[in-house]
Structure 1
């Protein structure tokens, strides 16, 4: 039987990159002593007030169809949250609720792009971006954010990548996998490029609530960017709600109209009880959110203090998020071989970062989504494994 070429467009290296994580999950379920540092799924429970709101909604019988774009009160809460974060003056009419950040990225791709379009992506990039963009028939052009610049963008590199076929720019700030944040100066330079070349900008801001001292800059709030920017985010990371699948898109009203039509085809609205829980999360003081952010910062500092002492390893300090890029080039191993060797010898799973983009070659991504005692043990195992390698360079 024949399958659509679409199936080829949504496959690729990004899918295979998860093999080590899937192996670790399988082995952990089988009882092996495994420490998983290969995914960004918070170890915290969703704050009780949010969960209680969903339960109460279910008990009221809120189990029926809802509005395709989301209930008006949720969309208004998202708009207010986005305005506080970005300064962009938006209303519920600029918002669609979606089943997490990833469906928002996919909807943006399908509604903005077409075969023959080029999309500039800042790499290292999140693994799903390639398939998400290629699903539309568009092609990717990668712009490197180099490790020697701590994975920050040089706007001159972006300018050189623009061609007459360029339709859009996709990026995440703060970044997954690097934790790097776009500065106000760089965001202004990117905005100038987008305006000058009449580009769409799709900004993934899912980690904007998990910053460590630096102020998040949302490009949508800059002059001239509101009509050409789609901001995608969710509660998955900031509120430990990965399994709830609730996120949003903020963009021009005309785009939201098209997203509505796409929603008629593929989802037909978010579950009502999840929407009520999300509305609570966005309109109430939830102290656990700040406590979680502080915990991630402590874990970051612990991992850096431990691993920077290990000959052959070097940590890039993340400015936000729940990941760190660990440079393993001086071990003499590729990132792939280091990750699998570490797992086979110690049971600690990290991700080979190479599939995130060529700039990440020689790095592994380490997550902070375990308690500090377990993280400390994981660092000990990483150090022990690295110290056994005879090829480590000074």
Structure 2
């Protein structure tokens, strides 16, 4: 007779737990740890946004909404996307429980069993398991520090097969902080059109672009019709715990995503939707102040890594640095574990983001300048304890 464990889904059994959360949980069990691990703003959601939630509760907004989300919120999202040269009708939008649900909906809608999903690596940890859970096959596409971790058409073409169906883009990138210019994206779009691929474009960090303006592949000719754009309120508006995301897609795709959303989630919480509406209508001044603070921290952490002898490309977006630790002679996993126990600094080993992340660690600078300064000092002491750079 099979054990209970053996009777459970082998697909789910074989998916590894999140490497990010493993180090987060380890750090939580220790004292005096500076965490550069979890990608979450250290800012509290602005008061007027929280107040909008309180006011909605006082007025009795505790019901379901339309499956797609509040019409006024979808209108505000459509207006907001115009700032990125994206023209969507509110009916082409669905409000989701965070960007993560939107990614899952897109995967399950686009994929048939055995379809291949092209994932530029290093990549956000959920893309591979979401692909597998949707019946697809994840295919890593390497990106490199010498290209500032941008996806190149040459590397993309090398991984395309007759089973390739979807390309995932995440720019600005988690974990590398890389960005893609409009010209970079056009070169990728040419390959996508040539091979008749769909695109899932995760643009949750769009606002956190420090040099120039964010470019979306969906804004390019011929691409809106084959792109599912994913974003949300978590990062730029400091609303991670509110779990309000959204997807924008052509009606043929969105209507199928909506079926899954109807049967599994129904709708995002109305209180969070009311708060998101306030953020989009009146929260841009506070958002811009937070982005300015991230920019200061970005410069500081990159400078700090370079001063202690760790090469670090300059992240142009998001709030992550991705220093190269190969010169220490340690693997990413060894470096992160020994750093945590020796110097009480939590970072995420690069290998959890795919093979291309080995030799690097992800460090979130969504924490105070004081904490970043202390962390760099501790990391420098740790590197020196190893005998310096090899």
TM-score (norm 2): 0.96
Q: Is the 8 A contact 2:324 2:359 kept in 1?
A: yes
Displacement of 1:391: 6.1
Corresponding pairs, count: 385
SS in 1 for 2:50: helix
Q: Is residue 45 of structure 1 aligned with residue 47 of structure 2?
A: no
Separation (CA, whole Å) in 1 of partners of 2:321 and 2:262: 39
Deviations 1:54-109 (A, max 9, x none): 11001111111111110111111111212221x23211111000011111111100
Displacement of 1:356: 0.8
Separation (CA, whole Å) in 2 of partners of 1:286 and 1:141: 38
Q: Is the 8 A contact 2:205 2:318 kept in 1?
A: yes
Displacement of 1:306: 1.7
Q: Is residue 216 of structure 1 aligned with residue 198 of structure 2?
A: no
Of residues 87, 96, 99 in structure 2, which corresponds to 1:98?
A: 96
Q: Is residue 7 of structure 1 aligned with residue 12 of structure 2?
A: yes
Task: Identify unmatched segments of 5+ residues in structure 1.
Answer: none
Separation (CA, whole Å) in 1 of partners of 2:66 and 2:11: 29
Alignment of 1:179-328 (within 5 A): 179-311=177-309, 313-328=310-325
Structure 1 stretch displaced more, 97-106 or 191-200: 191-200
Instruction: Give 1:24's aligned residue.
Output: 27
Instruction: Give 1:357's aligned residue.
Output: 354
Displacement of 1:285: 4.5
| Pairwise CA RMSD | 1.3
SS in 2 for 1:354: helix
Q: Is the 8 A contact 2:319 2:366 kept in 1?
A: yes
Instruction: Give 2:69's aligned residue.
Output: 70
Separation (CA, whole Å) in 1 of partners of 2:352 and 2:369: 28
Which runs of at least 4 in structure 1 moved beyond 6 Å after TM superposition? none
Q: Is the 8 A contact 1:47 1:286 kept in 2?
A: no
SS in 2 for 1:308: helix
Instruction: Give 2:167's aligned residue.
Output: 169
